[in-house]
Amino acid sequence: MRRGQSVLSTFERYQRIALLYDLLDLPFEYGRYRRIRRLLFQGLSGRLLEAGVGTGRNFPFYPPGSTVVGIDISPAMLARAGRRRKSAAAEVELRQMDVTRLDFADRTFDGSVATFLFCVLPEQLQVPALKELGRVVKAGGLIRLLEYTRPHRTVRRILARLWDP
């Protein structure tokens, strides 16, 4: 599969699933993820990049007084995030962008966060995406990732495939 095809299929999946994404994710969000999200932003400040902002689930946890640029490949996901923007304690700018080709100068951000982006990004795009995050974060800045791995047990693996957008 070529890089362009991988990005396009990811784009198409999230365009299609955006309307139902929060509903499908609800049991995981309140059962586990919400407690962890807060930890991602501890100690971060300044200008931050959220790669794969999705529907804006991290907004309530942004450090007060920071400025955050949230990017996502899907306009439908960004539209959902736009409706959630007022829940942020930070100034938020949303932009459609491919994480493997960021439209920012080197060393633009004090830190970056991505939640559940790399676990759905095709494997051949993960290293290019990490390199891009490393390029746009200032020396000494932090890049924090919250991800999951695919289950190995049969029943959980089948459930994960059904849920996968």
- Tally of CB atoms within 10 A around 44: 19
Domain that includes residue 138, residue range: 3-163
Q: What integer pLDDT is reported at residue 78 of this predicted model?
A: 96
Q: CA dihedral in degrees (69, 56, 120, 147; nearest 10)?
A: 90
pTM of the model: 0.78
In which region does residue 56 sit, left (phi positive, over 0), alpha (psi from -120 to 50) or beta (all else)?
left
Q: What integer pLDDT is reported at residue 49 of this predicted model?
A: 98
pLDDT tens-digit series, residues 112-132 = 999 989 988 888 999 999 999
CATH number at residue 144: 3.40.50.150
**Beta carbons of 111 and 44 less than 8 angstroms apart:** yes
Q: Into how many domains does the chain fold? A: 1
More confident residue, 142 or 153: 142
Which one-letter DSSP state was computed for residue 30?
I
pLDDT tens-digit series, residues 88-107 = 999 999 999 999 999 999 99
**Beta carbons of 65 and 90 less than 8 angstroms apart:** yes
- Give CA–CA dist 155/157, Å, rounded: 5
- Give CA–CA dist 138/142, Å, rounded: 8
Alpha helices, DSSP H only, in 92-153?
A: 123-136
User: In this predicted structure, which of 26-35, 58-67, 137-146 has the lowest mean pLDDT?
Assistant: 26-35
What is the length of the chain? 165
